[in-house]
Structures are given as C-alpha cells and as structure tokens.
Structure 1
C-alpha cells in the first residue's frame, strides 16, 4: 500500500462519485477505479457499495476513512513543518509523550521551547515503547513516558514518582473514601492502553498481582479518555496518575489510595551518548525547574 492509494481513497470517500473524484485528482476514471480495487484487494475488505446514484462507504470503508485521514493529516502537518524549518533555518526538535503527562507541567516545557525562534517543535503521542523506537530512529529527540525499558541506545531518567488515584463514577460505593487495592479489586476494572504492550495497563495489573489480588477486567480501551468515559458509564473503575484529576471531568470522582506508596514513574528518555544540542540543553534546564516545582509542591 502506498500513500497515493490513501489519497485516491480519500477523494473517492469524500466525493462518493468516481467521476468527480477523478476530476479532483486530475486523472482519468479507469485508473482511479483500478487503484481503489487494488486497495480493497490488499485490505481484503469492501470499502464501497456501488449503486446507480454513486458510492456509499461500507462500515469497513468508514473505519478506514477515519483512520487514513489521520495518517494523511499527520503527513501534511509534518511536510509543512519540515518546509517551514528549512525556510527559516530552524532546528527540528521532536517530543514524544504519553497523553496523561499533558495534564501536568509538560505543556510548560513545550511553551518554553516554542519561544525559541530557531526551533521547530513536533509533538507525538506515543507509549514509552514507541518512544524508545522513535528515539533510535531519530524521529524524536526526547520522550516522556511511564515505563523503564532497558535499551543500550537509550538512557532513561526517572524524574519523579507520581501517586496513582482511583477514578470511580460519582455515587460509587467507594466515592469519598481512600480505598485500598483490596477494596478496588472487588469491582470491575477498565484498563488502558489496550495496545501496544507493555504499557500503563501492565503496571496497574502488576499492582494487584503482586498482592495476590485477582481483578476482573471489564474492558480495555486504547486511550485514557475512552477509559474515563467507560468509568462514567459505570463499566468499571480505573487507576490514573494524579495529574489526570486536574481536568475535572464530570461524572468522575478521583480518590487517593490508602497505600501512599503506590506510584507511577515519570520517565524521561534520550538517546545515549549524544552531545546535547542547544535546544536539548534548554529543554533540560526548563525540565529541571519543572521537576523541582513538582517535587516541592509548586504547581503552575
């Protein structure tokens, strides 16, 4: 599958007419039809229903459209950033992060670096495992995650340990308490992210298993926001890092745990042995202040 297949599919999905899609792409209709057919064969799924009035997306086609659109939009954003970087002679600096960290002080680091005229920032949501691979491939320069991963090409620094909290629906029997893990294990659990693993989901499961507690996993979600939505829907409860409580989502109570030592690390990953650029030096300086503020209890 090539990028042109995604662009051809997007045009057909938005026009829902092969003739108009071909005109939009400045190509003849038969080649476009062949490309769409090839895409369907490669996917092993029918993307369109053909009718006398044009095309309609199948459920598989709608799913593929939504996700392929994200890929194309990300590509367009990256191309624009690279062109801007070259035009203004800027350094490209990539940051990878797990979503839960963006509720804390990470935005302050981003804001500080954005004030530099000679830097073009790129941000990417990714798990710690994905961050390590992205660092080795040169796609990002620094990553912020929650897993310790042993890799000879990447150095990791634990910035601080963040308390874990229980997220329960408002009115839950545990609402207003400081529950123990044993009490939490009595209720269905929502885990996230479902993939790729290992992830925060494995950290949470390990907390229960090390204490000999069995839990019922009611649902696995790919994103934290989906997991919280499932909590609001009374699918189950979940564990979240402390920073998440700052979003004040309706329908959820965030409870500190009785076991104060239950935490999740904030792990900073960088390429090992690399001479830091001026931007990396500035990032490290900003990061040092932010970590000191967090440890001392000074929130932004």
Structure 2
C-alpha cells in the first residue's frame, strides 16, 4: 500500500460514497473501486461494510482511517518544511480571530507585507470552538482568542492584558468612571456568538459578582452592528477598548470602570503536534 492508495481510502471515508470520492479525486469510479479492492486483498480484511450505496467502516477500517490521517498529515508537513528550506517565503497565511481580537491584525499584516511582499493573507472570524476546530482541521495556521484555553493540543503566546470598558451612547452623557452596579437596569447589547462563549461567561459572571444579571435586550454576533446600535442610543456593551478601533466611534463614548475586575487576555494559539510554517513563525515573532 502506498500514500496514493491511503489518500484514496481516506477520501472515500470522508465522502461517504465511492462515486463522490471519485469525483473529488478527479478519476473514474471503476479504477477507484479496484484500488479499494486491492487494498482489502493486501490487508486480508474488509475495510467497509457495504449497504447499498452507503459504506460503513469496519473496525479494521476505523484503525486505518485514524492512523492514515496522521501519516498523511505528517507527510504533508514534511514536504512543506522541505520546500521552505532555503526558499523565499510566499503562499497564504491563514489567521483566525475572535471578533474582539481583529484589531491586533492590521498593523502586523502591514509589517508582514513590507517584509514579504509575495505573502497573501486569509482572515477568518469565529468563536473559540470554531477556531480551535479550524486549527485542528488545518483550515487556518494560527488563531487569536480573547482568553487563554486549557487544551493540551495547542501551544500559546499570551498578549498584553487590557482592561474592559463600557461602550455607551454619547448622547446619554454617562460619566467616567462608572460602577458595575450602575448597569443594573441599563439595556445591554451582547455581541457574543453563543452563551457558551468563554468571554460571555466571564462578563456575565462579573455582573453576578456584583449581585445582578445584565438586562440583555439584544444579542448580535457582529460588533459593527452592535457599534451602530450603541451610537443610535439603543444600549451599552462591555468589551476591550481596542475592539472598537476598526469601527467608527461617532456617537459612542468609552467609559472606564472603577470596580470591574475582568481583563482582556488575548492569546495566540497553534497546534502543538503540527509543523508551523515559516510565515506563521515570522508573524508570531511580531508579537514577541
């Protein structure tokens, strides 16, 4: 069995049908079926239980799929590393970021563009769960999250801590600093993707620490929209100050807290067991 056949097998598993796998591999179905038959004969075992058009992995097939994914991944990493040695840096640096961390990127990307003009960038926004899964599936190279994560699959680099502030409608005329207790009945706008988001949890925990829960009148996953709602006088939100840097601050007043203990602890993470490409390493160095 060679890597080509292993790739055929993994594609069949992930597509669920030989027909779909053949289409993805840009080959005809009969030769792909023949390759699968040759693999089963060589291994002297069935890799799939066939039920009409559907395929289900046997126990042997499950082992081959799990181990084969690791083998192909390591092989791809090896080829990438070899190609980069002694060569000029080009390609695509894929960066995932929490919405509240997007403000870290423009300056650093500008520096990278000056140093490596042949390098392109792809920026993907998402929450912690989406970004960690994207890293493990090799859809992005690194990710910037709002808070550190406890996951042995990743290495991390912590960035400077930053205080959270209150973004309020300018026309409300609220004074700075403000007490957390003063927000008890004020309409609150939540921009977090879901209530399991770690940032959402520690902000609401801070409200509870002061004896109440936020009066959430609107949930929206887009900071730009929340920013517009604030400027229209709809409500307030809590976020790192730099999160508003990429949006217009017209109509928005930033107020500091006098008794809020939460801080922004942005962290860059990347997979521990995967080769980190040179362009990603150079990007990390900009933060150190």
TM-score between the two structures when normalised by the length of structure 1: 0.60
CA contact (8 A) 1:127 1:199 kept: no
The reply to whether residue 125 of structure 1 matches residue 125 of structure 2 is yes
Mapped partners of 2:184, 2:167: distance in 1: 13
Give runs of aligned pairs for residues 46-195 of structure 1, distance below 5 A: 90-103=90-103, 105-115=104-114, 116-172=116-172, 175-195=174-194
Mapped partners of 2:89, 2:145: distance in 1: 30
The reply to whether residue 279 of structure 1 matches residue 282 of structure 2 is no
Distance 1:199 1:234, change over 3 A: farther
CA contact (8 A) 1:165 1:254 kept: yes
1:196 is displaced (CA, Å) by 7.4
CA contact (8 A) 1:168 1:253 kept: yes
Q: Please give the per-residue CA displacement for 1:192-221, whole angstroms capped at 9, x wherever unaligned.
A: 124374153333212212333222111111
CA contact (8 A) 1:136 1:154 kept: no
1:265 is displaced (CA, Å) by 1.2
Corresponding residue of 1:234: 233
Structure 1: tracts of 5 or more residues without a match: 1-87, 289-300
Corresponding residue of 2:267: 267
Which has the larger Rg? 2
Structure 2: tracts of 5 or more residues without a match: 1-87
CA contact (8 A) 1:129 1:149 kept: no
1:239 is displaced (CA, Å) by 0.7
Root-mean-square deviation (CA), in Å?
A: 2.4
Distance 1:176 1:159, change over 3 A: same
SS in 2 for 1:109: helix
SS in 2 for 1:160: coil
CA contact (8 A) 1:245 1:254 kept: no
1:107 is displaced (CA, Å) by 1.1
Mapped partners of 2:248, 2:229: distance in 1: 16
1:142 is displaced (CA, Å) by 0.7
CA contact (8 A) 2:206 2:261 kept: no
Give runs of aligned pairs for residues 242-257 of structure 1, distance below 5 A: 242-246=241-245, 247-257=247-257
Structure 1 residue runs of 4 or more that deviate by more than 6 Å after TM superposition: none
Corresponding residue of 2:201: 202
SS in 2 for 1:195: coil
**Paired positions, count:** 199
Once the two structures are overlaid, the 10-residue window that deviates more, 251-260 or 239-248, is 239-248
CA contact (8 A) 1:168 1:237 kept: yes
SS in 2 for 1:150: coil
Mapped partners of 1:266, 1:130: distance in 2: 16
